[in-house]
Structure 1
């Protein structure tokens, strides 16, 4: 790592005045292994990873109340306290939508563990984007974090709640001082546009950012959601820029089962398992070619594959959210955050791409 790569650049989030590191730490991977087996639960190890990232300027964090049933937010708050980090030195994003109840333990995931009709009733008002749930969830996230939120995001679209109710509630969360801004995640373009129109019509706070599932082998959001975001000055902060790790390693020729990581085996990440690549699979020839080209370019530049995939997302005008499970991954992220790809290199990486059905969850 050169002297110029000791720190990552900071940029404005869209056209807002909020500045963030150009790579964001995804805190889904910090919490309880009982929630998901691949999650890191050693707090001292987590703190070392976060501190190393912090020391190199990676000080923007994306979490959610869903992650480890609230524990991810708690760990992030503990990190700030452990190192006496002043609040104005970091940027915190979290999300609302999923059912969360700390009283049943941090291993609980309502989306997976609902087994009885009674449980469904218990969580009837503890999910979605109703006014009641948004206000309750925002207060609980602030309590767990031990501080205010910078960007409060809707995790998914809620078809059971009027969009006007959702946007008014989010506006009130800002006005109450619980968050400074609002954003959205994993949204269809039409839903996102409608939310923005409702807010503008009523003079309410609008979304300043949107998360999309966007990487070198998943580019469908370029045509609608990302296009609209760029046109209107909304910051794009994609999740899974490495496609769950698929872009960070060579193409596998073995069986799907043996080549899946713990994260890819998790039911929540079935979409990632679909991209486990075998060199002899004609249905995935485009993806195989892209991964091979990432490897070629990584060798040429003497950097990791992860750095190439990360740099591509940044080149496209977005700030990727990246999960970290080791201090070595922090090094890769710093390199990727500073790496410049020229137009010929970008064209070479993108050339094999073939459109797929857009991921929606």
Structure 2
């Protein structure tokens, strides 16, 4: 496993990040396809044994049960100081006023709740899951700064938003001497490349680490277009992200995978890892082979001709994933 700095920080993270949305009790929250604890633990252990030290979850994943499962697994399979643990805040955790969003009250309540579920005194990376248009960014950033100063988070990051929102947050933090976002968790893969227009150049210019979510496009890049899975059939959000025209890109991935004699997932991940500025794709895993394929993708070097073959069929998409 290779390790790189997260943006222009001194924090060393594995070249792959384990996305933990897959791990959670299916009867809690909105994801009926998640794996309960007894099925999640072997995969988390495998990831750690493969050298993945970067784990990403969120308070809303399976109504908090993802954090609970991940926290117990870290205690059992590793040492806390060896793990870069990331979680997120924004989504609604309870009905009524102040049950979600990025107000000072919500952030202070949710960081404490996440730490209890994770069974730790701090997280390494605390991220806003989305932009909150109903809360002034000054209020959000000062609250996050205070979370860092209280020792409850080491760094802060952001997730899917317009590039101008990210730049506004960076400028506001600098203007006030507050802790700055060090990472961007955004939607980027061979089927959705709109982030190449503004967000990736911004992150390169500002030294922001990029940790893309859904690098395999909800699994579409790991199988033939007409194949399906239980998750694909029950993932309402995923059904809004991709279109029929993406079939041509999936076919190109399949052709190169067949020519190389490797799984499709390795080709799609190798393309993403080669993008300038990408620090660590966030990989989901529901089977042991998903992890071994992801690690193997780090050694796969695509030629310029293969990259052109993969990128040529792309069609512009409407902006997706910001809400």
- Segments of 5+ residues of structure 2 without an aligned counterpart are none
Q: Please give the secondary structure, in 2, of the residue aligned with 1:324.
A: coil
- Corresponding residue of 2:72: 78
- Corresponding residue of 2:234: 265
Alpha-carbon distance between aligned partners in 1 of 2:125 and 2:99, rounded to the nearest angstrom:
21
Alpha-carbon distance between aligned partners in 1 of 2:82 and 2:298, rounded to the nearest angstrom:
19
- Corresponding residue of 2:275: 316
Alpha-carbon deviations, 1:10-41, whole Å to 9, x = none?
11111111111111111001011123111111
Alpha-carbon deviations, 1:256-282, whole Å to 9, x = none?
xxx46434533233324x44x4xxxxx
Alpha-carbon deviations, 1:216-251, whole Å to 9, x = none?
010001111111011111001110011111111112
- Corresponding residue of 1:133: 106
Q: Please give the secondary structure, in 2, of the residue aligned with 1:313.
A: helix
**Match of residue 185, structure 2, among 200, 204, 211:** 211
Q: Please give the secondary structure, in 1, of the residue aligned with 2:295.
A: helix
Contact 2:232 2:239 in 1 (8 A): no
Task: Give the alignment's TM-score, normalised by structure 1.
Answer: 0.85
Shift of 1:44: 2.7
Alpha-carbon deviations, 1:74-114, whole Å to 9, x = none?
1111102223x21121111100001224xxxxxxxxxxxxx
Match status 1:39 vs 2:34: yes
Alpha-carbon deviations, 1:295-333, whole Å to 9, x = none?
111122221111111111110031211111011111111
Pairing of 1:179-198 with structure 2 (within 5 A): 179-198=153-172
Match status 1:296 vs 2:255: yes
Contact 1:221 1:358 in 2 (8 A): no
Alpha-carbon distance between aligned partners in 2 of 1:60 and 1:263, rounded to the nearest angstrom:
26
Match status 1:233 vs 2:233: no
Alpha-carbon distance between aligned partners in 1 of 2:159 and 2:283, rounded to the nearest angstrom:
15
Shift of 1:343: 2.2
- Corresponding residue of 1:100: 93
- Corresponding residue of 1:11: 4
- Corresponding residue of 2:307: 346
- Corresponding residue of 1:332: 293
Alpha-carbon distance between aligned partners in 2 of 1:55 and 1:216, rounded to the nearest angstrom:
29
Alpha-carbon distance between aligned partners in 2 of 1:218 and 1:188, rounded to the nearest angstrom:
15
Alpha-carbon distance between aligned partners in 2 of 1:234 and 1:68, rounded to the nearest angstrom:
29
Alpha-carbon distance between aligned partners in 1 of 2:299 and 2:9, rounded to the nearest angstrom:
22
The 1:176–1:52 alpha-carbon spacing in structure 2 relative to 1, beyond 3 Å, is same
Alpha-carbon distance between aligned partners in 1 of 2:316 and 2:223, rounded to the nearest angstrom:
22
Alpha-carbon distance between aligned partners in 1 of 2:289 and 2:144, rounded to the nearest angstrom:
38
Alpha-carbon distance between aligned partners in 2 of 1:358 and 1:95, rounded to the nearest angstrom:
22
Matched residues, number = 317
RMSD: 1.5
Shift of 1:187: 1.1
Greater gyration radius: 1
Alpha-carbon distance between aligned partners in 1 of 2:239 and 2:175, rounded to the nearest angstrom:
39
Alpha-carbon distance between aligned partners in 1 of 2:303 and 2:233, rounded to the nearest angstrom:
32
